[in-house]
Amino acid sequence: MSENIKICSGFRFAGVHCGLKADSALDLALLLSDCPATAAAVFTKNRFPAAPVIYGRKQLAAGEKIQAVLINSGNANACTGHQGEVDVAAVAEVLAVTLELPRPRIFISSTGVIGEPLPVTTILNGVGLLVADLDEVRTDNASLHRAAQAIMTTDKSPKIAGVEVQTSQGVITLTGIAKGAGMIHPNMATMLAYILTDVEVEAEILAAMLKRVVGKSFNRISVDGDMSTNDTVLALANGVSGCALSSAADLEMLEAGLLQVARDLAYMIVKDGEGATKVVTIKVVGAADAVSAEKVCRAIANSALVKTAFFGQDANWGRIIAAVGYAGVELKPELVNISFDQIRVVSNGLRDPDYLEEDGAAVLRKPEFSVKIDLQSGEDEFTVLTSDLTHEYVSINADYRS
């Protein structure tokens, strides 16, 4: 992790091992604001939402401010019925008493194995450890790093991003952490993300911003085409900086900062995709409309055949053009162009006469590259970040509960 990550004022962090994971890995995190923070969230659209998602939706629907976020890894508390919701409330109550806060200000997230009862006693035993960790390390990069580590599941590395933004009211800071490596697919993924800022902004404005930002970042990545039960992106704004934003120009700056942090975290998720060796930008341009651009882009980004070709460094453009064809949009095959980085592979629906297979293979050998599809049918475009699909992905998910 870079030592230069910007940490917004008025937040403290902790990460400990409480015993949810068999080894000594950190598995319980706490994000604590010095004062109640305006909150906004985007949750999974999975029809089997986890208990903490159900709990969190009710909190935000009631307009509650949030001051503490407790996140456990190792157990999703999903498909656990009414008892799961009871367990979330019990954990929130104990943390509220410990921190001397009202229970509605406690936000809970979980990630891990689905269908197992939440080990409430184990988590509650960790609450004291978290508070002690807060008092020991306070607001520094080490404590932020520990919190980011504690929320990981199959992630290989923690995901942290931060940015400072100059507004007419002064400098504001945004800090984000996330987890996610598998089950990555819109709408969102098996991912949790928390973006914190020291600005003061109205809840309705923050909620609208976050929805737009998620649509341009976390909902434009794909590792394996699966959507989880626990996906949550939470934004908190505590106003500690003293900057209260209301002008259109300042709010645009805030949204740009949110988007930068979200895109940085989304990129890290794809790069850390389970078994991934490639980060590939799929860009569709020249579409007749926005819906067509998105459909074609996602068809390519989610294709197992395309993704395995990326892993094998096989410049098999036939798999790409097949995905374009089955995306379900009206197009003229004789107009379609495809490029790997700057190498034109397909021109007007046919192999480009100047294309050399070794040139395409050279692009695919790189750890990061782009695939551009020009439909030449309009002005709309869409971009998705995707990864390759590898032997290691199968191994990781075959042994996930072992």
Q: What is the residue type of 140?
A: D
SS (H, E, C) 57-75: HHHHHCCCCEEEEEEEEEE
**Bridge partners, residue 285, by sequence:** 374
Can you give the chain as a three-state secondary structure string?
A: CCCCCCCCCCEEEEEECCCCCCCCCCCEEEEEEEEEEEEEEEECCCCCCCHHHHHHHHHHHCCCCEEEEEEEEEECCCCCHHHHHHHHHHHHHHHHHHHCCCHHHEEEEEEEECCCCCCHHHHHHHHHHHHHHHHHHCCCHHHHHHHHHHCCCCCCCCEEEEEEEEECCEEEEEEEEEECCCCECCCCECCEEEEEECCECCHHHHHHHHHHHHHHCHHHEECCCCCCCCCEEEEEECCCCCCECCCHHHHHHHHHHHHHHHHHHHHHHHHCCCCCCCEEEEEEEEECCHHHHHHHHHHHHCCHHHHHHHHCCCCCHHHHHHHHHHCCCCCCHHHCEEEECCEEEEECCEECCCCCHHHHHHHHCCCEEEEEEECCCCCEEEEEEEECCCHHHHHHHHCCCC
Nearest alpha carbon to residue 382 among 299, 293, 321: 293
Annotation says 277 is catalytic: no
Beta bridge partners of 385: 221, 281
- Which residues, listed in sequence order, are joined to residue 272 by a DSSP beta bridge? none
Find the catalytic residue in 44, 111, 175, 190.
190
HEC string of 253-273 equals: HHHHHHHHHHHHHHHHHHHCC
Active site residues: 190
